[in-house]
Structure 1
């Protein structure tokens, strides 16, 4: 029996057979549920057998019954992987056991000590707000039973000083557990927001604020998947700013950057919200038009060509204008993403060769407009 075999066995046990679960959050929930069930089974079996041997038949039976319930929870978790139901049942079972031990006292009135495990367990499984409600209700119930004289549910007698210290310490543990869960959730939210922000930045072109190539490729792939499911058409436009190098050489790179931003804003303002404008590279921009066939896409390209051609950039005393050459391609299932982009790019270069400031697609029939 090798050490690696033993380690794999232990991992399989504490993860309830779901070692390969990919979600980190789900793995944590399964780990907590499984580990707590196994630990509870171990100690409840020991305490239950000890109580039976000591003549405390009722307490021993209760301990063994709760051990069996935790065993069923563990088996259900292994079988289904449903950590949500398993975790909730664990909380309810442990609350019932703790409540029973509080009311009966347990061996030598040590039963209330089980309640100290509840704050951490409740907050971790139920979360910050639902956990606070559940724990607050449990705390009020315990305080009511211990402080109301002659409470019918209390079947033992506790020293008043013990009651005061127990309630105070339980409340303190609850506050500390709440504070820990609050900071954990707050840190998790900050990390999540930072992750989303970084992901957003990784999909944006820094200069123009447009989607970058990575984001565009993912969006095109989603449209291809949608086309396979619903047979919805989509098209792309490859747009290139004519004589852009001349603008940089004549007016400087700052003017060129401002022109790129202006063209980006103009294109974005003149397409629908469902459409996506991206900076493909240099002065090239790729535009995705979902639910748009070739004829409509060609018309949209002509409109964008006209709008950009009438847009001027103020640079010092000069009014700088540009034109666009656009290539249009509609997706067909026989095309890959690369082939689709290359097709639009080829039509854009045909527009360049035709004298620029024009639109080209398969509708041109060799007569470029």
Structure 2
């Protein structure tokens, strides 16, 4: 997979995970469309002599547009959603109570249920639909209230209630299905992202993921002066292990080596499979001397490890190339120097840490007694 394709995949994952921005875009589009529609109908109503109705529509359009402007400045999505829904709900209630033109305003309520579940979710959507149902019931059953201008026959009320109930349940089911499908898609996307960052055999981070860790650590070093080091490791004579014991045994050695590496690292360290039988360890807040000591401890641990695969004993060693950012200028030269040091370890006989760790000689008995 090319780097561009990988970047496209990760952008798709991030897009899936950021639903709030997508919902806000939809709401803004609907808000503009609703304001434009209200203005158009308001103009028609004005010339038809329904001045009060026209003024209400103009007011709705103005507040709807103002809500978008305020959101663009504050970026408060929760308030923006709430105001939008109450504006639409208020307009629908006004149209039901007033009747709109020719008592047809009530028909606009059918657009409300899909908005509610999409914008504020399933549970809160039911709560809001319940509130609206109570208010509509009041309009239907108490037409003598001064603010209520429209009257509806009992048959119409029953048919309207039944049809709106169907639309509400249908909207709920559709939005529930949409959310479930989205959760499954996000879960799959996360699994893909994890797989794209993880070596399948050893379950360590892969080279691509390690590159990102290195870049973050280098940025931290440039900003705060926090030194870090790397250890580049190679399993000695790995080809001989493959040829002698078989490729399955070679895979077994790689997995066990990765486990040893994982166990030897601190929580802040990152160990990754760099490629083939090479592994890379990133050591944050670690000097060259500390990194050399860490590499030497691990080298000794590997040397002392004896694996058993299908009743066959396998012993192996590792060579290490160590480098600190304090010795280089950038990541490229850091990794290059670590690779050079690893090569030197192989040339000098393997099972070594380069730069060489100077071992202090044990004092002789005579020296001990002199002390």
**TM-score, length-scaled by structure 1:** 0.83
CA–CA distance in structure 2, aligned partners of residues 240 and 52 of structure 1: 82
Higher mean displacement: 52-61 or 156-165: 52-61
Provide the residue aligned with 2:134 in structure 1: 140
CA–CA distance in structure 1, aligned partners of residues 15 and 76 of structure 2: 12
Q: Does 1:54 align with 2:48?
A: yes
Residue 256 of structure 1 and its aligned partner are, at CA, apart by 1.1
Residue 302 of structure 1 and its aligned partner are, at CA, apart by 1.3
Contact 1:146/1:154 (<8 A) preserved: no
Residue 146 of structure 1 and its aligned partner are, at CA, apart by 2.8
Contact 1:26/1:83 (<8 A) preserved: no
Contact 1:235/1:292 (<8 A) preserved: yes
Q: Select which of 278, 284, 293 maps to 2:287.
A: 293
Residue 28 of structure 1 and its aligned partner are, at CA, apart by 4.2
Q: Does 1:160 align with 2:132?
A: no
CA–CA distance in structure 1, aligned partners of residues 337 and 356 of structure 2: 10
CA–CA distance in structure 2, aligned partners of residues 299 and 141 of structure 1: 75
Residue 287 of structure 1 and its aligned partner are, at CA, apart by 0.8
Provide the residue aligned with 2:163 in structure 1: 169
Contact 2:345/2:353 (<8 A) preserved: yes
DSSP-derived class of the 1:332 partner: helix
Residue 238 of structure 1 and its aligned partner are, at CA, apart by 0.6
Q: Select which of 355, 360, 369 maps to 1:361.
A: 355
Provide the residue aligned with 1:336 in structure 2: 330
User: Structure 1 stretches of 5 or more lacking a match?
Assistant: 1-21
The superposition leaves residues 287-318 of structure 1 with CA deviations (integer Å, 9 ceiling, x where unpaired) of: 11122222221111111112111221112333
Contact 2:296/2:357 (<8 A) preserved: no
Contact 2:269/2:284 (<8 A) preserved: yes
Residue 259 of structure 1 and its aligned partner are, at CA, apart by 0.7
Q: Select which of 61, 66, 69 maps to 1:67.
A: 61
Provide the residue aligned with 2:303 in structure 1: 309
Provide the residue aligned with 1:101 in structure 2: 95
Higher mean displacement: 155-164 or 207-216: 155-164
User: Structure 2 stretches of 5 or more lacking a match?
Assistant: 1-13, 360-371
Q: Select which of 305, 310, 319 maps to 1:325.
A: 319
Residue 220 of structure 1 and its aligned partner are, at CA, apart by 0.4
Provide the residue aligned with 1:349 in structure 2: 343
The superposition leaves residues 195-245 of structure 1 with CA deviations (integer Å, 9 ceiling, x where unpaired) of: 111111111112222111111111100111111222222111011111212
Residue 48 of structure 1 and its aligned partner are, at CA, apart by 2.2
Contact 1:270/1:304 (<8 A) preserved: yes
Q: Select which of 169, 175, 187 maps to 1:193.
A: 187
Provide the residue aligned with 2:112 in structure 1: 118
Residue 95 of structure 1 and its aligned partner are, at CA, apart by 1.2
Q: Select which of 235, 244, 247 maps to 1:250.
A: 244
Contact 1:70/1:90 (<8 A) preserved: yes
Residue 34 of structure 1 and its aligned partner are, at CA, apart by 3.8
Higher mean displacement: 334-343 or 84-93: 84-93
Residue 31 of structure 1 and its aligned partner are, at CA, apart by 4.5
Provide the residue aligned with 2:33 in structure 1: 39
Write the mapping of 1:225-304 to structure 2, written as runs, cut at 5 A. Answer: 225-304=219-298
Q: Select which of 172, 180, 183 maps to 2:177.
A: 183
CA–CA distance in structure 1, aligned partners of residues 189 and 47 of structure 2: 56
